[in-house]
Structure 1
């Protein structure tokens, strides 16, 4: 069973958010499904949904305030981090942190951080398991 069934994100302008999210979500291997007043991307049983804000102009979200911090997508290689980061930048996301290693987490952690027009922050990260001493 997945940890999350779905994640809903409220955005100020749904069309603009779709233009930014769609290339990233498709780059992650997700399938898009449009609905009346929302759009979803699926991968297996997990779903990310964008909804238009009920209070237009109430954004953008500010990272660091109570609430949303960021959503991290785990990928299988550092090259995938780089590829997804490039897709996001091409789609208009703002670079928060370029792809790089994060030794403060561990010597294997490689990630990038981006933010959309709504202040929604995503991370693409590669963090393979540490090799166990049993493998030696």
Structure 2
């Protein structure tokens, strides 16, 4: 059983949020369901991600580094998948924060990219294969 059941994210413009999150979550194999003031994506056995329309218009964007949301990391199976998802996100209107690259400050295998949407919501695509005996 997953430890986290769902993650709710509030956006100023729900249609724009769907346009930005949808292609990324579709590319990750999530299915979508719409309600009146929200849309949700899920995969069997995975945490559900829900976008909500802001109760008060004009309260965004979120500012990275302030109290609250930092980022959500999606673990993927390869560096090529990090690159592909980064390109999908950019095509859907996300802004690049950090292009795909190695992050040796985490470890010599950690490869990731970071993107941010119109609401200041930041996500990461990362590949961090297990350490092997050949790693030393």
Give the TM-score range, shorter chain. Answer: over 0.9
Q: For residue 19 of structure 1, what is the aligned residue in structure 2?
A: 19
Q: CA RMSD in A?
A: 1.2
TM-score, with structure 1 as normaliser: 0.95
The count of residues paired between Structure 1 and Structure 2 equals 134
Structure 1's consecutive aligned runs of 4 or more residues displaced over 3 angstroms after TM superposition are none
Where does 1:115-134 land on structure 2 (aligned, <5 Å)? Answer: 115-132=116-133
TM-score, with structure 2 as normaliser: 0.95
Q: For residue 81 of structure 2, what is the aligned residue in structure 1?
A: 80
Summarize deviations over 1:27-48 as a string: whole Å, max 9, x none.
Answer: 1110011112110000123200
Summarize deviations over 1:85-108 as a string: whole Å, max 9, x none.
Answer: 000000000000000000000000
Structure 2: runs of 5+ lacking an equivalent? none
Q: For residue 93 of structure 1, what is the aligned residue in structure 2?
A: 94
Q: For residue 106 of structure 1, what is the aligned residue in structure 2?
A: 107
Q: For residue 35 of structure 1, what is the aligned residue in structure 2?
A: 35
